[in-house]
Structure 1
């Protein structure tokens, strides 16, 4: 009878240690997940800012203004246009 009680005690202690280790691992993984999610949120914010900036920089009016004012470009004359068909 004592051997059975001792075996049960060992099994209970081993089970308790396993629970403690698993809880610690769960906390560590939860912290890693929170850090990863924060990183994702920062990257999504940066991506949104970059998309807005890209839209501003590629606006047709801005490109036309830079072409005419800063680069001195003009639209081509009619005799300079060639239409190519496939």
Structure 2
């Protein structure tokens, strides 16, 4: 079950990109004792998102688009976010 941070991330990404695929995994437990891990969870995430908005854009631009939408979360509770952003039909 995801918490408030994950719910916010999902909502913001859905509103911004209308993704055809959105997978968000809280990977915080694997980072216990590492920098940015507060022990409360929801600090480290893996994201896989597929949306038409990424078509024709370079990987770095796709990541920037996602990071812009999640700027508040990345400045606060999220310490690390792994992003795989694709357009429909890409692997």
- Give the TM-score normalised by the residue count of structure 1: 0.18
Structure number with the higher helix fraction is 1
- Compare relative contact order (CA 8 Å, sep 6+) and give the higher one, 1 or 2: 2
Structure number with the higher strand fraction is 2
Higher Cα radius of gyration: 1
